[in-house]
Structure 1
């Protein structure tokens, strides 16, 4: 069992701060698809404050 990689913001796969790129790299997902899903969920759900969550992750996740 390999040790898990920490959550870090991506330096290479970024649109704003690299948060979604870092999460996609961590799990081996497609970053574009993750961004699209995140935006759709953020817009469709009043209970999910997408911008606030993104800003918090930007502040808490270290850059790789």
Structure 2
């Protein structure tokens, strides 16, 4: 009998799916989706929000552990 750990996954920047800071790769790994979809969503969000998404990306880059 095996027991699965119920420990939550860490929300951190990616070390393998990294293009700039690893934020989009980390979000993709956390939610189990393709990193390119998250990157495309981030670019679209940057245009739609008038640059506010860029500030959010930079804040996550500084706050999330590697």
Normalising by structure 1, what TM-score?
Answer: 0.85
How many residue pairs get aligned? The number is 62
1:39 maps to 43
CA RMSD of aligned residues (A): 1.6
Moved over 3 A (4+): none
State the structure with bigger RCO (CA 8 A, min sep 6), 1 or 2: 1
- Alignment gaps of 5+ in structure 2: none
Aligned with residue 12 of structure 2, among 1, 4, 8 = 8
Bigger Rg over Cα: 2
Q: Give the whole-Å Cα distance in 2 for the aligned partners of 1:41 and 1:35.
A: 10
Superposed CA deviations along residues 6-58 of structure 1, whole A, max 9, x for unmatched, are 11111110110100000100110110011001111210223x60111111000
